[in-house]
């Protein structure tokens, strides 16, 4: 496959709500352009970009996938992104590297929740947009309604470039209002020019006038000319369309049906003629790779004349090809078998063969220029978010930040064999999906798998089973309760055992007292003189720490207390470290009867972002979860509610928030502090701990 110069490359991320037809649109564009000989269809599981078994079975896109086509001597790279809430965060890295987004809107349903979310992502990355109102052949499809919903939700600068001819199953062609021509399509998506129909001519003229107004508004000089003449000449309209789109002052709209192929050739023409090329960016911003200078700002232009650099935005764990690393070449050129520097990790990488991805198929290329998207196989160190660059001119690009995981499950291997394999398998999946988080809770000893929704985590479990043959079960994670004391007590811990021959003897007097929340454990040695030899005193501390780790009332670690060693005694023959450690444990147990232990629970900072009309229900729900609302503020059109709530009450919050907001809300949660558990709830926690065998009987010394 040949290499393309930067100005003949178009990189497009296809975004929008699930079921809007993004994957089918990608497959149909590939077919109409001749890039694929067979027309892939979602219903048949034959599309180029939904190629993994799970996506085919569920008929939804689970991760980003790439494909490419050629049209009018230009290479068009398509990045198909998921539209379902649990997977929509994968649109973020796609928009980070795309030079334009194709926003797909359902002609029957109009703008939906995830359309809004991905539009907001595009705003974040300043990505220009074009829009496709898709599925125009469906029953109740209404181009006007879908267009109005987009304008009212996003911007009046959303202007149709093609208007539909015919409705629903009779949708057969489009009117191109830029060039004022009309086209009818056959079953293979081939267009033939026809006269502009008289029916609806007033709509064509009205939208043509709106286009001229938006082009005029995009430039001060054009605006002046427009006011003087009342319109703009043809030579001022077409050349300024690309500039207005690149500046996000215009979003063109195309009417299409990806299932009947009507209007697709107009979309391809529009992408080549109007979508920004990579070199329309002023520059890509990064920083120096040296830690010594703190990472000073650097920029690179999208030019083949600059030193080589590339940003890795996707890793595919292919069961046959191995790890596939997908990157956008930001600057310079790169050839097969080049050795480059991973400036993020400070290691060299040999690239081997270069490829363009066509779904799961890899098409070899000898060379790639700035702006192109390529893939390499079996790089040793490189991960998603890394930068590759010329060692002589290092630069590091900031990685994409993913939204925080919204739901967590404890993941338990079904057998010892699965336990041995789970870590390797999970880490391969994490390479492919950085929006997942996997950790081991030091207190509960559970493996915790976190994702953006229950479906997200369930697909990981299925992948573990099908791809890596690891069987696991999911259950809600245990809440990491802790315990503390609320009163002061002075106690004696005395350990004495005589079994014939040398015995065991250790004796200590200790004062236990509570500390402020978050202080942990402190040990103070206040023995003056030699009632306990210096070398035995650390053993007393170890004994107290060991006993505190098993808790006092429910088997959870005891924290925020101070133990002060004030006196004791020893035996010259029978005393040793073991005896004094046992004495420390006994002192702790003696204290428990007097220091009034209590249970503590983790309290979380919660920040909920949701439509204003949902705020009353959200606050009511947070109150029912023992939450305390601490403030509210507006962020754009959304309400932000800040609160504190116990972790135990928030384990199922994502599903409830989706129910209240129609999946339009999101939340962020992080640990704040520990607070005492109310008595009635503490009783239940203790009973559960007893049922689980967490409360240990006092061990014999």
Q: Residue 241 has what pLDDT?
A: 95
CA 94 to chain centre: 12
CA 220 to chain centre: 40
* Crossing angle between the packed helical segments 201-217 and 220-229, to the nearest 10 degrees: 130
Residue 619 belongs to what H/E stretch?
helix 615-624
Residue 475: CB atoms within 10 Å: 10
Residue 95 belongs to what H/E stretch?
helix 91-97
Backbone angles phi, psi at 452, to 5 degrees: -85, -5
- List the Cα angle 341/332/372 in 5-degree steps: 100
Q: Residue 697 has what pLDDT?
A: 46
User: In the structure encoding, which two tokens stand for residue 659, read together?
Assistant: 């129910």
**CA pair distance 104, 35, nearest whole angstrom:** 21
Q: Output Rg (C-alpha) for the chain, integer angstroms.
A: 32
Q: Residue 698 has what pLDDT?
A: 43
* Cβ pair 652, 625 in contact under 8 A: no
* Cβ pair 163, 201 in contact under 8 A: no
Give the three-class secondary structure for 303.
coil
User: In the structure encoding, which two tokens stand for residue 617, read together?
Assistant: 């229900």
* Cβ pair 274, 130 in contact under 8 A: yes
Backbone angles phi, psi at 160, to 5 degrees: -70, 135
Concatenating the DSSP letter of every residue in 17-31 gives STTSSHHHHHHHHHH
Q: Residue 450 has what pLDDT?
A: 86
Burial class (CB within 10 angstroms; exposed 0-12, middle 13-18, buried 19+) of 2? exposed
Q: Is 688 left (phi over 0), alpha (psi -120 to 50) or beta?
A: alpha
**CA pair distance 340, 332, nearest whole angstrom:** 12
* Cβ pair 23, 104 in contact under 8 A: no
Residue 395: CB atoms within 10 Å: 26
**CA pair distance 255, 183, nearest whole angstrom:** 12
Burial class (CB within 10 angstroms; exposed 0-12, middle 13-18, buried 19+) of 303? middle
User: In the structure encoding, which two tokens stand for residue 236, read together?
Assistant: 């001022």
Positions of the chain with pLDDT under 70: 290-294, 406, 636, 694-701
* Cβ pair 129, 248 in contact under 8 A: yes
CA 473 to chain centre: 23
**CA pair distance 74, 274, nearest whole angstrom:** 12
Q: Side by side, which strands form the sheet with 251-255?
A: 65-71, 74-80, 9-16, 100-106, 129-134, 251-255, 158-160
Domains and CATH numbers, the chain: 8-280 (3.40.50.300), 284-389 (2.40.30.10), 407-475 (3.30.70.870), 482-595 (3.30.230.10), 601-686 (3.30.70.240)
User: In the structure encoding, which two tokens stand for residue 585, read together?
Assistant: 């444990």
* Crossing angle between the packed helical segments 22-33 and 264-274, to the nearest 10 degrees: 80
Give the pairing type, strands 322-331 and 447-451: unpaired
**CA pair distance 488, 473, nearest whole angstrom:** 44
Q: Residue 419 has what pLDDT?
A: 79
Q: Which of 390, 231, 249, 196 is nearest to 307 (CA)?
A: 390
Give the three-class secondary structure for 222.
helix
């Amino acid at each position: 496959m040949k290499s393309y110069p930067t100005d003949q490359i178009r990189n497009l991320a296809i975004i929008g709500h699930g079921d809007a037809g993004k994957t089918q649109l990608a497959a149909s564009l590939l077919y109409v352009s001749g890039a694929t000989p067979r027309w892939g269809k979602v219903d048949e599981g034959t599309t180029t970009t939904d190629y993994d078994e799970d996506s085919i079975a569920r008929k939804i896109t689970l991760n980003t996938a790439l494909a490419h086509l050629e049209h009018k001597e230009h290479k068009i790279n398509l990045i198909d992104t998921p539209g379902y809430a649990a997977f929509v965060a994968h649109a973020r890295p796609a928009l980070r590297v795309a030079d334009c987004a194709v926003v797909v809107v359902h002609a029957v349903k109009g703008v939906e929740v995830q359309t809004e979310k991905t539009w907001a992502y595009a705003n974040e990355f300043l990505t220009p947009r074009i829009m496709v109102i898709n599925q125009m052949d469906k029953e109740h499809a209404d181009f006007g309604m879908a267009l109005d919903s987009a304008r009212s939700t996003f911007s009046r600068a959303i202007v149709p470039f093609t208007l539909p001819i015919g409705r629903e199953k009779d949708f057969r062609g489009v009117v191109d209002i830029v060039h004022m021509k009309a086209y009818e399509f056959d079953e293979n998506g081939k267009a033939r020019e026809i006269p502009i129909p008289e029916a609806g001519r007033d709509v064509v003229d009205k939208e043509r006038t709106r286009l001229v107004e938006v082009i005029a508004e995009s430039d001060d000089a054009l605006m002046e000319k427009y006011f003087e003449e009342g319109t703009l000449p043809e030579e001022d309209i077409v050349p300024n369309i690309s500039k207005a789109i690149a500046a996000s002052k215009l979003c063109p709209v195309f009417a299409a049906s990806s299932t009947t192929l009507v209007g697709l050739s107009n979309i391809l023409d529009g992408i080549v003629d109007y979508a920004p090329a990579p070199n329309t960016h002023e520059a890509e911003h990064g920083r120096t790779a040296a830690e010594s200078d703190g990472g000073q700002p650097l920029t690179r232009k999208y030019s083949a004349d600059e030193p080589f650099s590339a940003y890795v935005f996707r890793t595919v764990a292919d069961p046959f090809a191995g790890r596939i690393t997908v990157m956008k070449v930001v600057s310079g050129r790169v050839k097969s078998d080049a050795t480059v520097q991973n400036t993020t990790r400070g290691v060299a990488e040999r690239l081997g063969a270069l490829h363009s991805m066509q779904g799961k198929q890899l098409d070899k290329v000898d060379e790639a220029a700035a702006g192109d998207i390529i893939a390499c196989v079996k790089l040793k160190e490189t991960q998603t978010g890394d930068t590759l660059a010329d060692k002589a001119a290092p630069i590091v690009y900031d990685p994409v930040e993913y939204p925080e995981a919204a739901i967590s499950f404890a993941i338990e291997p079904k057998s010892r064999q699965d336990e041995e394999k789970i870590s390797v398998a999970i880490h391969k999946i994490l390479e492919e999906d950085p929006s997942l988080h996997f950790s081991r809770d030091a207190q509960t000893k559970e493996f915790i798998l976190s994702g953006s929704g229950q479906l997200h985590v369930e697909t990981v479990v299925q992948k573990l089973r099908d791809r890596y043959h690891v069987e696991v079960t999911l259950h809600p994670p245990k809440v990491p309760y802790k315990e503390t004391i609320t009163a002061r007590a002075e106690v004696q811990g005395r350990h004495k055992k005589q079994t014939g021959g040398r015995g065991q003897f250790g004796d200590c007097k200790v004062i236990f007292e509570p500390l402020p929340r978050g202080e942990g454990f402190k040990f103070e040695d206040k023995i003056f003189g030699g009632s306990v030899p210096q070398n035995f005193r650390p053993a007393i501390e170890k004994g107290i720490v060991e006993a505190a780790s098993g808790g006092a009332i429910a088997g959870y670690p005891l924290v925020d207390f101070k133990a002060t060693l004030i006196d004791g005694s020893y035996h010259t023959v029978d005393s040793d470290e073991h005896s004094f450690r046992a004495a420390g444990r006994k002192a702790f147990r003696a204290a428990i009867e007097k220091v009034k232990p209590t249970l503590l629970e983790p309290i979380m900072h919660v920040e909920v972002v949701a439509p204003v009309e949902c705020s009353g229900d959200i606050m009511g729900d947070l109150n029912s979860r023992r939450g305390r609302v601490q403030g509210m503020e507006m962020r754009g059109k959304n309400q932000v509610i800040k609160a504190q709530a116990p972790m135990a009450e928030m384990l199922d919050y994502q599903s409830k928030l989706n129910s209240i907001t129609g999946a339009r809300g999101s939340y962020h949660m992080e640990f704040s502090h520990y607070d005492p558990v109310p008595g009635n709830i503490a009783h239940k926690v203790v009973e559960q701990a007893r049922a689980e065998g967490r409360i240990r009987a006092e061990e014999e010394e």
